[in-house]
Amino acid sequence: MDDSEEKSNYKLVLIHQSTPGVNFGKHEIQRVIGTSPGQVHLDSPLKNTYKDGQVIIIPQYSSVHIKPEGTIRPKSWDGKIGGILVYFCAGDTLIEGTITSKRV
């Protein structure tokens, strides 16, 4: 197995500084190469500094179809986490339904 095949098995995460303060709104996408209790190990150093940031696993799909009766929404923002919808799609995305988000 070459390096690119091996890395494709690791999860992607979005790291986002969602609470006000230093670097508010900054974000980056990283690849997780391992975990240990209370830690997430990434394949490269963080580009930003985060305090109380969110780490969101990015689901990956070959295609996405939101049917007319369908709705997707992120977890509601509670002042610390939620409010972000993210996914990667390698193929087509067809949105016939609704994408929505609301603040608590």
Q: What is the mean pLDDT of each run of 10 residues along the chain (104 residues)?
A: 46 93 91 90 93 92 95 89 93 95 68
- For the chain, how far is it from start to end, CA to CA, in angstroms? 46
Q: Report the alpha-carbon distance of residue 91 to residue 104 in Å, rounded.
A: 33
Residue 7 DSSP label: H
pLDDT value at position 7?
47
Q: Whole-model pTM?
A: 0.81
- Judge contact between 50 and 37, C-beta under 8 A: no
pLDDT value at position 28?
97
